[in-house]
Chain A
Amino acid sequence: MLRRRVIPCLDVAGGRVVKGTRFVDLVDEGDPPILAERYASEGADELVFLDITAAPEGRSTLLEVVERTARRAFIPLTVGGGVRSVVDMRAVLRAGADKVSLNTAAVADPSLIRRCARRFGSQAVVVAIDARRRPAAAGTLPSWEVVVAGGRRPTGLDAVAWAERAVDLGAGELLVTSIDRDGTRSGYDTDLLRAITARVGVPVIASGGAAGPADFVAAVRDGGADAVLAASIFHRRLVSIAAVKAAMAAAGIPVRPVEG
């Protein structure tokens, strides 16, 4: 049976993991490949690197980090942030990433999804959707707007409609982040997840708001998510991957046993 995946996300800038790390030895633990290897040995099913380097010159640093990581952690690696073209995507894949996540650039030019999927296959194309809940009158169904540029810029696009369009264009997976919940530790937005998983046939990765193991269970059970992603709670060791998987297994959700 297909396992539901638990995915730590690492924000990377200038070749370092940049937020949510409170380790004793910052020099070593902030190095993405070392953290990646640690997560892999602790039972992570995949890894996501989000490059938040603003400056273009940071790209070569990112590619070097991806390359070093892919040599150490033999689990799938998705890289997002700043991929704007087929050429960008090729460079990231050549460095050893398995998938690329497209976000702002795909909203600006949806044909990018199709071009990347044609060139590298849908399985390598993850479309990341950052969604903000719209104010709704009592008694109406909730809806969400796609936001870009790290949640700063609204697009007017409906998140569910965009999800369907992205899949039609060739997205092999969706990474759905609730901007309302991101960083709040108030749980995933399971309404948002359910609205999207009910409408698309590709796997959906839940993101934004995880606080404890029960939230991961809810994202799968109530939101229909195929995978659950979190960043700071793993970096800060507030919750272990093993604890998340144990909670999921106890709730009857199939998970890959932590290698032991």
Chain B
Amino acid sequence: MTGRPLPNAATRPALRVAVVDYGAGNLVSIEQALVAVGGRPRRVRRPDELAGADVLVVPGVGAARPAMARLGRQGLVEPIRDWIAADRPFLGICLGLQLLFEGSDEDGAETLGVLAGRTVRLVDAPTLPHIGWNQVERTRPHPVFDGIADGADFYFVHSYAGAPTASSTGAILAWTTHGRPFVSAVAVGSLVGVQFHPERSGRDGLRFLANVLALARPGAGVARLERTA
């Protein structure tokens, strides 16, 4: 799958991608996928390790409370909030998206509160966990989906999903249906969050990650504005 070149897999200097390592699941696959699209991932366990990073990725699977506890112990809660507040390039994957909301029904944990709303159990799901490939239906165009068909399949593994409230519905970028529809992608400024796993979603997943990196390049934001103008 990586035999063919991907768009945006730049020959320019590799972007430095900080991948937050807080013990919530497997980092190997996201690191390998970032390398495949021309990024230079580095595991970050302490705040000082964020220095020099171009993009911050919070991956993770599992429950919110132990994840927040570990982020707290590692001193990473405020640095992550600050990074997002400064509108620096950010990608939250799976639990990394759920943590952006105010709290989680899974275990009552209080989470980062960057987005209004809570993480709730999937409603009317015929099977849980929701495991497998499902369609991601966009609400609007966004450069992270450049070159990817609307309704393309991505790989999911989860039982909960973030539910934005009225003040954050503008962040919704895509929906997916398992039982009832749930929010499968959000985007606000330089922040992107996805419930699916681009690192395990084949060619479209790699393309998505390549797009995220392309947007994080200095000047990419300006180019984006010019293009949409």
Hey, which bits of chain A sit against chain B, CB under 8 A? 1-5, 37, 40-41, 45, 67, 70-76, 93-98, 120-124, 172-173, 201-203, 226-227, 256-257, 259
The binding surface of chain A is classed by DSSP as: loop
Whether the Cβ atoms of A202 and B32 lie closer than 8 Å is no
* With contact pairs A1-B177, A203-B131 given, residues A76 and B32 touching in the complex (Cβ less than 8 Å): no
Known pairs A1-B177, A76-B200, A256-B153; list 7 more (Cβ under 8 Å).
A74-B29, A74-B199, A74-B200, A74-B201, A76-B197, A172-B129, A173-B129
Task: List residues of B (1-45) whose CB comes within 8 Å of A's CBs.
Answer: 1-3, 25-26, 28-29, 32-33, 35-36
For the complex, is B205 an interface residue (Cβ under 8 Å from A)? yes
B133 near A37: Cβ-Cβ < 8 Å: no
Residue pairs across A and B with Cβ atoms less than 8 A apart, 29 shown, are A2-B133, A37-B1, A40-B202, A74-B1, A74-B203, A74-B205, A76-B197, A76-B200, A93-B28, A95-B28, A96-B28, A97-B26, A98-B200, A120-B25, A120-B62, A121-B25, A121-B62, A121-B63, A122-B129, A123-B131, A123-B158, A124-B61, A173-B129, A173-B131, A203-B131, A203-B132, A226-B127, A226-B131, A257-B153
Q: Are B132 and A226 in contact (CB under 8 A)?
A: yes
Interface size class of chain B, counting residues whose CB lies under 8 Å from the partner chain: 35 or more
The minimal Cβ–Cβ distance linking A139 to chain B, given in whole angstroms, is: 32
CB distance from B111 to the nearest CB of A (A): 17
> Secondary structure of the B side of the interface?
mixed
Complex Cα distance A72/B29, Å?
10
Query: Residue of A at shortest CB range from B63?
Result: A121
A123 contacts B157, CB within 8 Å? yes
A3 touching B200 by the CB < 8 A rule? no
